[in-house]
Structure 1
């Protein structure tokens, strides 16, 4: 029998090792890069696993969606950190000592739904806007970064293994190109996901991983704010109409009690500056009624109202017991009058309104020294010389990972929503462009080559169209949108476009695998050094 003391590995690679290494890299990169938000209360482990599995599929077939999600959360966390820093700088200038400056980890924890409060209505999640409000009124709770890290399941070793595997994949692709060796379509597809994973790591670097239970905040410093925060948020809206019950009540500041300033006039055109972060900015027609035109700012509008027309439920606010309160129904107009369900609705009790007023007064007192922040917390109507409490979601049921491009749940940081949409469009262009670079590679058939090119162009083109659409809408924002119900034909067109984009994405992933049934021989030749680079597969 012939024996040997050492046998070198055979040159090259096989189809199995190629597929295995790509699958390992693809799944590891997507799975490890995902940092999902705190799940809703009473969420089962099965539901949490199912949701993460769904996001893995999103990462494989629509990586730009995951990148846009990470970008939205990074924007919100960075905004919150900057606002807290500005509050601390103001305190240092005025009282000589500032508060605790939060780290990005603490801010990410707030953005991802890691803070909850308990009030008379139950337990709710504190949003980024709610956290910012507590900072503004000097009621920000003290939360150590170690408390958050103890709950986080971040694993440095696992991330290191994934980074090494991804680096090997990128290095061997570059080496193949340098040596003139062909690169498979599967490697091109995997390369795109590796790049996206690196971007996700950068955006989510400070975000806690797999937090299952939020921190429960307790303390008298902010408890009196809870009625105000609940009433301002969408969760405190009328259960039957879905309309915020604060919408018609103008706020009279403490200094205005003896001199109410509401102007009685016959004009039906009312100018209003909607508070930044208000849910009304998502649908102005539902929020205000019939629009006349847009104003000169993103949050300024001129709208029509029926002077003297009050919705039946709101007539109760004119009873004697309500007239002594500093949240009063306006005499000039009723912002709920345009609601289709105007014949029914809920109103606040005088006792609960008194609790809301305490919270509003606390903010109003702080605004005396920082008046520029009034537009964050109040909706101003200079035409009738009135302020209304802004409808911002300070409290939410849970923090969604990514609701939609129209409702980004960024609240007051909606001023950055265009940046986020550009990220979405650019990532789609880059993902499609990377696949388009493989147009001249070997394909088993001409039909598959054409389908690959068409699919790549479709994804690249969708990103370019999104970019152009958002840019044009920003330029033409002063033009009021078309009113009325959307055209059913357009709905079908939109659905058809989305369906086609799903098909082309599935095709790119499937074709990346099945194209290996007829591959050039040189595809299995490997650069010598790549075998000595530590990797899986």
Structure 2
């Protein structure tokens, strides 16, 4: 066993504080500048700071979640850029330039004109109106917002503010209501601190140079330095993926104008009515279970009383819903004090939403005619520009979505293999105790074997959703007795393993090999400077 040394002060050379400060400053600066939060619906300083710190903690413990979301966001922005550029050549020129003193961009129209004009300049043939990836990233991260007003059940005027999602942006572009925004406008709104990023870049290069030099000279690299170096690599990848994403935006552009108000009401009507339908479906499932439980109890008692089963929620098209909620006689909606607030909102915005549907159809957009007949809902508005959602990738035990094979899952397991494999580089490192050494090895091996557990999770849910008789054992619920504890244990072990690397890296500073405090001999690394 090599000679070890306890906590060492730094005045006479490299000390424990130097190692700790070098790693923590590098890790903190990298994560702080690498994470690019989306635009909040409403900016609050305290909430923004807490949210940013939460994202930093997530990036330190589960960097693959940040990486996969960043990649998905870039791919979505690229698709949106292509859709907008394809539609923008036939869009109606409706948008005056943005005024410096206002964040409201207007899109006014004097009628339901269906004449289409190219947005591009015909005079010089330039693509001044075309989008680049920076504008698309701005839109995807919640750069545009819509507001809709309505009167609640008590006669008070309320406002609904939502961020425009990717499919909503595409619809606005196809119908000529997408405001003209240049890449320079996005850059001006971005609060990217070039000095901070240059400082981080210098810090990264200096830290990487030190680690490489210590490896060349055969000097011990501490687990904290190994862990930090791995996260530096993650930061570089994140920088590359989010290179064109605006940084630290606090406000979105609010779209305004008469027609935009109608279209916004339509978007909100669609989103709220779809959410209300899903709520009714969930309520029906609960009622159906209770109904059949009660029927079984009655039959077991010998009672033959009949009660009709609960009614299945009807999936109606959007025009039909608009007519129902727009009718003056609303008794069929069954308003009372216990009614869902969404019902009142739908009735309040239905007139404007019907105007919005006419406007879009006059512009050649009839997607909302049969939209409720599709299984996949349109992503036109969002209540918040949610940053990172683990359930959207892996699903959860209580949902029936997110369990299918996907590129996100492949990226997650491959990243865990790489992440755990790099930590295996410290396999032969002399930790303060044998238990710490074996826990480090076990944690790394748990991550390396993550493809096995990911594949079992997907195969399990494929069996649950399959209609084959041979897989009935997965559907009758008996196998859940074994599967639920197994996967719950895997999740706990996975989380503990990820956190263990950081905890033991910090705790290991109490007792390090003696050569971990040796300074680098730069003349041996660069002999031509001697």
Do the structures match in fold with TM over 0.5? Answer: yes
Task: Compute the displacement of 1:48 (Å).
Answer: 1.5
User: Equivalences for 1:139-288 in 2 at 5 Å?
Assistant: 139-234=177-272, 237-238=275-276, 243=279
| Partners of 2:405 and 2:258 in 1: CA distance | 34
Task: Compute the displacement of 1:165 (Å).
Answer: 0.8
Gap runs ≥5 in structure 1 = 1-8, 248-282, 291-305, 326-340, 381-386
Match of 2:17 in 1: 16
Task: Compute the displacement of 1:205 (Å).
Answer: 1.4
RMSD: 4.8
Distance verdict in 2 for CA 1:476–1:176, change over 3 Å: farther
Match of 2:145 in 1: 116
Match of 2:134 in 1: 105
2:414 aligned with 1:420: no
| Partners of 2:347 and 2:23 in 1: CA distance | 65
Task: Compute the displacement of 1:24 (Å).
Answer: 0.8
2:438 corresponds, among 450, 456, 462, to: 450
Matched residues, number? 435
| Partners of 1:153 and 1:323 in 2: CA distance | 44
2:220/2:515 contact within 8 Å kept: yes
1:421/1:470 contact within 8 Å kept: no
| Partners of 2:183 and 2:250 in 1: CA distance | 16
Task: Compute the displacement of 1:212 (Å).
Answer: 1.4
Task: Compute the displacement of 1:501 (Å).
Answer: 2.1
1:313/1:346 contact within 8 Å kept: no
What CA deviation, in whole Å up to 9, does each residue of 1:345-364 have, x standing for no partner?
94998996565455445555
Task: Compute the displacement of 1:188 (Å).
Answer: 0.8
Match of 1:400 in 2: 386
What CA deviation, in whole Å up to 9, does each residue of 1:311-340 have, x standing for no partner?
5999xx999x86999xxxxxxxxxxxxxxx
Distance verdict in 2 for CA 1:154–1:379, change over 3 Å: same
| Partners of 1:207 and 1:479 in 2: CA distance | 44
User: Equivalences for 1:118-133 in 2 at 5 Å?
Assistant: 118-121=147-150, 122=159, 123-133=161-171
Task: Compute the displacement of 1:455 (Å).
Answer: 0.7
2:73 aligned with 1:80: no
Task: Compute the displacement of 1:435 (Å).
Answer: 0.8
Any idea what SS the aligned residue of 1:120 has?
strand
1:71/1:423 contact within 8 Å kept: no
Distance verdict in 2 for CA 1:182–1:215, change over 3 Å: same
Distance verdict in 2 for CA 1:138–1:418, change over 3 Å: farther
Distance verdict in 2 for CA 1:490–1:353, change over 3 Å: same
Gap runs ≥5 in structure 2 = 1-9, 93-114, 121-128, 151-158, 290-307, 328-337, 396-401, 469-473
Distance verdict in 2 for CA 1:17–1:352, change over 3 Å: closer
2:423 corresponds, among 435, 452, 468, to: 435
Match of 1:34 in 2: 35
| Partners of 1:324 and 1:33 in 2: CA distance | 48
User: Equivalences for 1:369-518 in 2 at 5 Å?
Assistant: 378-379=370-371, 391-406=377-392, 418-462=406-450, 465-466=453-454, 482=475, 487=480, 490-518=483-511
Match of 1:61 in 2: 61
What CA deviation, in whole Å up to 9, does each residue of 1:235-280 have, x standing for no partner?
8743xx7548xx9xxxxxxxxxxxxxxxxxxxxxxxxxxxxxxxxx
TM-score for the superposition, normalised by structure 1: 0.67
Distance verdict in 2 for CA 1:173–1:311, change over 3 Å: closer
| Partners of 1:444 and 1:10 in 2: CA distance | 24
What CA deviation, in whole Å up to 9, does each residue of 1:198-222 have, x standing for no partner?
1111122111222112211113453
Distance verdict in 2 for CA 1:323–1:116, change over 3 Å: closer
